[in-house]
Every structure is written in C-alpha cells, then in structure tokens.
Amino acid sequence: MKNSTTWLKSRYLTAGVLLDGTNESITDRQEKVPGFKQSVMDALCVLQIGAGGLGGEIAQGLVRKGVGKLMIFDGDTVESSNLSRQLFYKEDMYKNKATSLAKNLVKEGIKKTDIEAYPCMFQKAAENKVDIKCNVVVCAPDNDDTRIYVAKLFYKITPVVFVGLDRQASTGYIFIQKPNGPCMACALPRTIENKREHCPNVAAIIDLVKIIAGFVLFAIDSAVMERRSNWNFRQFFIAGFAPEIVRTVEKKPDCILCGAMKGKVHKKQGAKVKSK
Ligand SMILES: [Zn+2]
C-alpha cells in the first residue's frame, strides 16, 4: 500500500566557504592528487544507502571533497548506542538517521552540495518510483537482502561500491561492482547463500569504520575518475593476524546472480557524469 509520507525527502544545501579571492582554492591539495578531478567531483551525484557508522564517515568525506549531490536513504532511528561512532548528537536521539545525517552534514560542506535525505528503506523508495538516477551508488546497509537487491537493480547501469563489517568489528570489506562486470555475488557468493539479516546489538567501533570508509572514498574516485586502482575487492583485518586481501575479482561464468541476469535489459538509465 502506498503511503506518501514514508519516503518523503528533505533537502539540505551546504553553503560552501566563500573566499575573498586572494586565497588559493579550497580544494587545491586534493586537485594535486594524480587522477583526481575536482570538476568531476563537483558534478557527481552519489546515492548512498545507510546512514549509520560507515554511512556517516563516507558521507562526511564526500561532502568535504565537494561532491555535487548526495542522496541518503535510511529508515532507522538514532539510538544512544550509536553516538560513540556515528555522526549524530544528543539532539538527534529518536529521530530518523538519514534526515539527521543530512542536517549534520551541512556544516561539513566546503563547496555547494545538494543533500537529499530519504527517511525510509531504499527498497521501499525504489519500488515507489523515487528517482534513483545517479553516477555511483554506495551500499552500506546492515543486511544482505538490501545488498542483493542493489546488486541486481544497478547491475547494468551504475557502479556500486559495496561495503560491510563483521559482527566482531575485526574486519571489513569493500567491493566495486561495475556495470556488466563481476557482480557482488562473484566477489562474495556467501552473501546470497547464507543471507545475513538485520543484526542489531553486534560489536561495532569507530576505528575500523574510519579505515573502511577511507577505502570507500578512494573506490568512488577510482570508479568515476582517473585515480588508478589495482583492485576491485579489498578486505582489511584490523588486528593484523590475517593479511590484508587486495584482489581483482573476475566474473564467474556460473554466478547465480549476474549469470542469471544475462541478456536482461534494465529500463532505468544511469546518469553520465558531466563537468560543471
Ligand atoms: Zn556475478
């Protein structure tokens, strides 16, 4: 049943920092990074699923880099146990995470960013025809159902950066799914075989979140700019007892996700990144 209030978006605009003309560009240092292109970042639209620990760190990084537009989806509510690692404050308690994060990001903006907050599960918004056109998707939810849904929905049209943490807060992974390339199930077949449901009250800590979010921010650049990268899958073990995994996942001919989607054409169109 349609309920028009469940995905009602709110919009926030960062004002940007005005300079007097004598100072150097705010983004001067990142513009010196090989392959990084500010004009692409200025025009980039990122759709982000999840506004929790990872979502907050990633969104903060994107806004500070000067991303053009950020759409945030999350149906959860801020709780006291979130405050030690998520971008929320006392006044955000019991309010929606997507809306609260968007509000808190306004003061992080060094350029003009258009932030849209959708206080609902992404699946619900997508099924109700919310415009999901974007240049890149960040998928940082707390369950595998959403990951599988997103992997299928954007498979032929838009790059998706998947990210996840384990229940002991000891490791996290990043996988970049590019249109028609190896899919999320090629990289992590167990995601489909033993789907992890929404799991509240598991271990989580800000140190691991910050490391993984940094990789995600780099992965977004490498997907849309010439920042060179030698991996599409990375897994980091914070204690160092297992070596970091850095690899290029290949497409599996018998993959139960992208193999099954062969030949299917998606109607939705991906957006092209244009320079402003
Ligand atoms: Zn696959």
Residue 192's pLDDT band (boundaries 50, 70, 90)? confident
| End-to-end Cα, the chain, rounded Å | 40
Between the CA of 184 and the centroid of ligand 1 the distance, in Å, is: 6
Using a cut of 0.85, tell me whether the model's pTM lies above it.
Answer: yes
Ligand 1 centroid from CA 182, angstroms: 5
pLDDT in tens, 148-171: 999 999 999 999 999 999 989 999
Taking CA atoms, 276 is separated from 40, 68, 85, in Å, by 8, 9, 34
210 CA → ligand 1 middle, Å: 28
Could you tell me the CA-to-CA distances from 209 to 63, 83, 138, 245 in Å, in that order?
A: 17, 13, 15, 17
> How far does residue 25's CA lie from ligand 1's centre (Å)?
42
Closest CA to 52 of 218, 195, 196, 165: 165
Ligand 1 centroid to residue 183 C-alpha, Å:
4
Domain 10-16+27-247, second-level architecture? 3-Layer(aba) Sandwich (3.40)
CB 45 within 8 A of CB 274: no
Measured in Å, residue 274 CA sits from the centre of ligand 1 at 29
Query: Would you list the domain boundaries of the chain?
Result: 10-16+27-247
Q: How far is the CA of 150 from the centre of ligand 1 (A)?
A: 13
Instruction: List, for residues 223-247, the tens digit of each pLDDT value.
Output: 999 999 999 999 999 999 999 999 9
Name the residue among 218, 174, 13, 208 with its Cα closest to residue 103.
13
